[in-house]
Amino acid sequence: MRRTTFVVLGLLVCPAFGSAQDFDNIQIQTTRITESIFLLQGSGGNIAVSIGDDGTFIVDDQFAPLTDKIVAAIAELTDNPVDFVVNSHWHYDHTDGNENFGRAGALIVAQDNSRKRMETDQVVSLSNRAQPAYSEVGLPKITFLESMRFYYNDNVVDVIHTGPGHTDGDAQVYFRDSNVLHTGDMFVRYGLPFIDQPNGGSMDGMIDATWALAGLIDDDTVIVPGHGQLSTRTDLLEYRTMLVTIRERLRDEIERGRSVDQVVASNPARGFAEPGDGTERWLRAAYEEYR
């Protein structure tokens, strides 16, 4: 059986959560997934783009200073402007472009909890960065509670809330006819996932959500993770196994009456993440969820 080691990068952060960036030097890379669906990567969350006769539909919009570059990359694919932006959740590295796209006429869609977060000032717990409330033009105009469906560009497109996991307002987008799934940050490829516990996230929720998503798709599905390279159902299941294994080790240590320092010293993430400040921080947050 193949075993995957997930390495924590830096302080357990993807580049989007790092220090101030020089957006002038960031280029948008385009990857064709199907004839009508593309992956755009720059800085921040992965963007999925659906083009066709109905218009242009994107999932996430990265940072506001990159909007012109994102629009230019989309213009290489289609003459149609962006009609819909689905936010996979409310964190700034996925939604900072909302106001720009909203002003340009796009309708923004999100799970209802994400809109509520974007209506008020927030703090992203991983970076302790303040995320100010968005102006009206950048707020989702269409929200849903559990699921909604588009019939768009010859695809049945299901937008699904599998429950709190990464945050309390996650949405996954499944292009059924093309068999492409955008998971948002419920599934990522940069290491141990950021679970925003203070803002409604939980490891249990992420484990349950990834299981539900694995049941929704098949071995031919192309997965667009929140960050990182295109992936498969096998990759998703290996990621879930990592979380389940770490959770069971944590629970076992806690049932033995171990303190948080003792639990961290036992390194429940062994085999999946290298010891270090980022791993310790992640384990301490997880400990609080189960103690």
- Domain presence at residue 13: no
DSSP annotation of 138 reads G
Q: Compute the average pLDDT of residues 86-114.
A: 98
Any domain includes 113: yes
CA separation for the pair 189, 272 (Å, rounded): 12
CB 189 within 8 A of CB 229: yes
CB under 8 Å to 161, separation ≥6 — which residues? Answer: 111, 144, 145, 146, 147, 169, 170, 171, 172
Q: Is residue 244 part of a domain?
A: no
At 289 the three-state DSSP class reads helix
CB contact at 8 A, 97 and 70: yes
Query: What's the total number of domains in the chain?
Result: 1
Q: Binning pLDDT at 50, 70 and 90, where does residue 30 land?
A: very high
Is the pLDDT at 273 greater than 50? The verdict is yes
**In a domain? residue 118:** yes
Indicate whether 7 belongs to any domain: no
Rounded to the nearest 10 degrees, what angle do helices 277-290 and 233-255 cross at?
70
Q: How far apart are CA 236 and CA 234, in angstroms?
A: 5
User: Is 84 a member of any domain?
Assistant: yes
Rounded Cα gap, residues 26 and 29, in angstroms? 9
Q: Determine the average pLDDT of the residues in 96-121.
A: 98
Average pLDDT over residues 201-208: 97
pLDDT at position 10 is 35
The pLDDT score that the predictor gives to residue 119 is 98
Q: Largest Cα–Cα distance of the chain, in whole Å?
A: 62
Residue 271 lies in a domain: no
Does residue 267 belong to any structural domain of this protein?
no
Which residue type sits at 77?
L
pLDDT of 18 reads: 47
CATH number at residue 43: 3.60.15.10
* Residue-number span of the structural domain to which 173 is assigned: 24-238
Q: What is the spatial distance between Cα 29 and Cα 38, in angstroms, rounded to a whole number?
A: 10
Q: Is the pLDDT of residue 171 over 50?
A: yes
